[in-house]
Amino acid sequence: MTAVAGWGLLATVLYVMQRSILFVPDVARPDPAESRAPTMQRVQAETGDGLRLEGWWQPPAPGRPTVAYFHGNGGNVGGRDEKARRFIERGYGLLLAGYRGYGGNPGSPSELGLIEDGRAWMDRLEQFGVPAQGVLLYGESLGSGVATALALERSVAGLVLEAPYTSIVDIAAARYWFVPVRLLLLDRFDTRSRLPGVGMPVLIVHGTDDRVIPASHGEALFAVAPEPKRLVQIEGGGHTDLFEHGALDAVDRFVREVLGPGPWSAARL
C-alpha cells in the first residue's frame, strides 16, 4: 500500500467513525435514588422527531433559578450527580437533560439531534411551570454547543458555558491536522458563530490547565459574546474538575451581579 493510499484509507475510516469518536455515551439507565442526588426524579420529554427521552429533575427552592443542564460528550446524566448535589444544596432547580443514545434513551446522537433534544427539554420546563426568566441555560463541554444553539431560540435569564469550544471543527482540526477535517466533519457545533446572536447575559468558565479544550477557546468566545458577559478563568482548573475549583461560586456571582437582585420575575435581561 502506498503512502497516499494509506492516508486515504485513514481519512475514510475517520470520516465513517467520526460520530463514534465524538459521542461517547454510557448507555446504562442511571437511577437518581442510587446517586449523590437522590432527591432528583426521573422525568421524560418527547422530541419533535418522536423520541421519548429520560432525564432527572429537581424543583427549585422558592425564589431560586432553575438550571437546564446539558452535559458533555461522555457518560450520561448520572455522571453529573455530584454537580447536581451541589446545585441542589444551594437551592437551584435542576434539569439534567438526557440525550438520545445516552442513559438508555433511544436514538443516535448528532448535532441536530441533540439540539432537538434540548428543545424538548425546554418545552418540558414550561410544562413544569418554570418561567423562562427563571431559567439558566448551562452547557458543559460538548453541551456548551447545545446550550448556545438553544439560546438563539429561547428567551431565558442567562447562558453559562463551562469549558466551551469555539467549534468542534476547530478542536478536530487541531487534533487530526493530517486530514481535511473542515471538509469532512458532520457535526460542527459552531458556537463562535452562534454566540454573538444570543440575547441574554453570558458567563464563560474555563480552567487554565484544561488539556481537552484549551482556555484560549473560552477567551475567543468571550471576545464575540454580547454584553453583559463575564469570563472566569479558574487557575489550575482542568476540564472536568472546575467545581472543585470554585465554578459554582462563579455561577452564584453571575446570578447576583449580572442578572440583578430580587425575584427572578424582575431579572435584568
pLDDT in tens, 23-66: 999 999 999 999 999 999 999 999 999 999 999 999 999 989 99
pLDDT in tens, 88-130: 999 999 999 999 999 999 999 999 999 999 999 999 999 999 9
Distance CA 11, CA 102 (A): 27
Q: Average pLDDT for residues 179-200, to the nearest whole number?
A: 92
| The C-alpha cell that represents 75 in the structure block | 457518560
**% residues pLDDT > 70 (the chain):** 91
Neighbours of 177 (CB within 10 A): 8
Predicted local distance difference test score (pLDDT) of residue 63: 87
Distance CA 7, CA 26 (A): 31
Domain that holds residue 188: 3-266
Checking if the pLDDT of 12 tops 80, the result is no
Q: Average pLDDT for residues 203-207, to the nearest whole number?
A: 97
Predicted local distance difference test score (pLDDT) of residue 7: 54
pLDDT in tens, 54-100: 999 999 999 899 999 999 999 999 999 999 999 999 999 999 999 99
Taking CA 165 as the corner, what is the angle to CA 19 and CA 264, rounded to the nearest 5 degrees? Answer: 110
Are 52 and 100 spatial neighbours (Cβ–Cβ below 8 Å)?
no
Taking CA 262 as the corner, what is the angle to CA 261 and CA 267, rounded to the nearest 5 degrees? Answer: 75
What does the buried/exposed string (b/e) look like for 99-124 if buried means 16 or more CB atoms within 10 Å of the residue's CB?
Answer: bbbbbebebebbbebbbbbbbbbbeb
Checking if the pLDDT of 10 tops 80, the result is no
In angstroms, how far is CA 126 from the centroid of its own chain?
19
Q: Average pLDDT for residues 239-258, to the nearest whole number?
A: 92
Distance CA 46, CA 51 (A): 6
Predicted local distance difference test score (pLDDT) of residue 257: 79
Which pLDDT band holds residue 6 (cuts at 50, 70, 90)?
Answer: low
Predicted local distance difference test score (pLDDT) of residue 265: 34
The CATH number assigned to the domain holding 168 equals 3.40.50.1820
User: How far from 267 is each of 63, 112, 157, 223, CA to CA, in Å?
Assistant: 12, 31, 7, 24
For every residue of 2-31, DSSP letters joined together read -HHHHHHHHHHHHHHHHHHHH-EE--S---
Checking if the pLDDT of 140 tops 60, the result is yes
Count of structural domains within the chain = 1
Distance CA 62, CA 233 (A): 31
Q: Average pLDDT for residues 236-252, to the nearest whole number?
A: 95
| The C-alpha cell that represents 216 in the structure block | 484560549
Arithmetic mean of pLDDT over the chain: 91
Among residues 137, 140, 144, which one has the least CA distance to residue 159? 137
Strand-strand pairing, 93-96 and 66-70? parallel
Which pLDDT band holds residue 19 (cuts at 50, 70, 90)?
Answer: confident
Checking if the pLDDT of 253 tops 50, the result is yes
